[in-house]
A and B are shown apart, each in its own frame.
Chain A
């Protein structure tokens, strides 16, 4: 049973560029959440997708956008990258009770913005 997978594992970009991160949820899960974890901090909730719609959103600017596909996989897009966007980006999947279900995290994508 495959767990949550994310790609790529590492990424280096320069300021102003755009990036797309990908996530495949755990088998049987239909809800995907994205988090940003800066060094020495806890994960910060970006948004959650369910049934291809953004269901909840944290305090992140519109530069952060996402998408969920019919197969429940998801993408996180960040435009106009800033140095402060350097972080570990985590994807978590869960069942349709959303946050009331246990969330399973993927290994993350480490993004470095130069």
Chain B
């Protein structure tokens, strides 16, 4: 089993739709989780950290489910500018940062 798994997509959604991505991780002792956004041929940029209690930033909501070992990202009211690849990041006890393969989102007019 891979340390971090994501569905690579692509997810093609219409503008205004709600879309959710999941990311599963194998090491139950992992402590830190993040979502990054990467535009085509650009560097990754932090979208949000993921806390046990869940957190929200505008149209974006991140949640952690420790029992099932996954994190999720929910995007409401999708915009064309949300089109990008969304990378989940898990930091296990070894502190070796592990990125998922990324999920590609394409928001369609």
Closest Cβ neighbor of A41 among chain B residues: B101
A65 proximal to B (CB < 8 A):
no
Q: Are B44 and A56 in contact, CB atoms less than 8 angstroms apart? A: no
Q: Are B101 and A42 closer than 8 Å at their CB atoms?
A: yes
Set of chain B residues within 8 Å of A56, measured between Cβ atoms: 94-96
B22 to chain A, nearest CB (A): 15
Shortest distance in angstroms between A43's beta carbon and chain B's nearest beta carbon? 5
Interface residue from B45, B94, B96, B102 paired with A42 (Cβ < 8 Å): B102
A12-20, A71-79, A95-103 - the one binding chain B:
A95-103
Fill in one digit per residue for B87-100: 1 if any A CB lies within 8 Å of its CB, else 0. 10001001111111
Which one, B42, B46, B96, B100, contacts A45 given CB within 8 A?
B96
Q: Is the interface of A mostly helix, strand, loop or mixed?
A: mixed
The yes or no answer to B69 lying at the interface (CB within 8 A) is no
- In whole angstroms, what is the CA distance A98 to B96 when docked? 10
**Is the pair B97, A105 in contact by a Cβ cutoff of 8 Å?**
no
Q: Which residues of A approach B to under 8 Å, CB–CB? A: 33, 35, 40-45, 56-58, 90, 98-100, 102-108
Q: Considering the complex of A and B, which 3 residue pairs feature the smallest CB-CB distances, nearest first?
A: A42-B99, A105-B43, A45-B97
List 5 additional A-B contacts (Cβ < 8 Å) besides A45-B98, A99-B91, A100-B32: A35-B99, A43-B87, A105-B43, A107-B43, A108-B43
Residues of B within 8 A of A (CB): 4, 6, 8, 32, 34, 42-46, 49, 87, 91, 94-102
17 interchain pairs (CB within 8 A)? A33-B97, A40-B101, A41-B101, A44-B99, A45-B96, A45-B99, A57-B96, A58-B96, A90-B43, A99-B91, A99-B95, A100-B91, A102-B46, A102-B49, A103-B46, A105-B44, A106-B43
